[in-house]
Chains A and B, each alone.
Chain A
Amino acid sequence: DTEVTQTPKHLVMGMTNKKSLKCEQHMGHRAMYWYKQKAKKPPELMFVYSYEKLSINESVPSRFSPECPNSSLLNLHLHALQPEDSALYLCASSQDPGLGNYGYTFGSGTRLTVV
Chain B
Amino acid sequence: AQSVTQPDIHITVSEGASLELRCNYSYGATPYLFWYVQSPGQGLQLLLKYFSGDTLVQGIKGFEAEFKRSQSSFNLRKPSVHWSDAAEYFCAVGAKSGGGADGLTFGKGTHLIIQP
A113 CB-CB contact with B under 8 Å: no
* CB closest residue in chain B, given A10: B41
Q: Is the CB of A97 within 8 A of B32?
A: yes
Q: Which B residues, 33 to 61, have Cβ-Cβ distances below 8 Å to chain A?
A: 34, 36, 41-46, 49, 51
Binding site secondary structure of chain A: strand
Cα-based distance from A44 to B44 in the complex (angstroms): 13
Interfacial chain A residues near B51, Cβ < 8 Å? 97, 102
Q: A45 contacts B104, CB within 8 Å?
A: yes
Chain A interfacial residues counted at CB < 8 A: 34
List A contacts of B105 (CB < 8 A): 45
Task: Let me know if B94 and A104 touch, CB within 8 A.
Answer: yes
Contact B36 A102 (CB under 8 A): no
Determine whether the beta carbon of B43 is less than 8 Å from that of A49: no
B39 vs chain A, min Cβ distance (A) = 10
Extra pairs beyond A102-B32, A105-B46 (10, CB < 8 Å): A30-B101, A31-B100, A42-B106, A42-B108, A48-B101, A48-B102, A55-B101, A92-B104, A104-B104, A108-B43
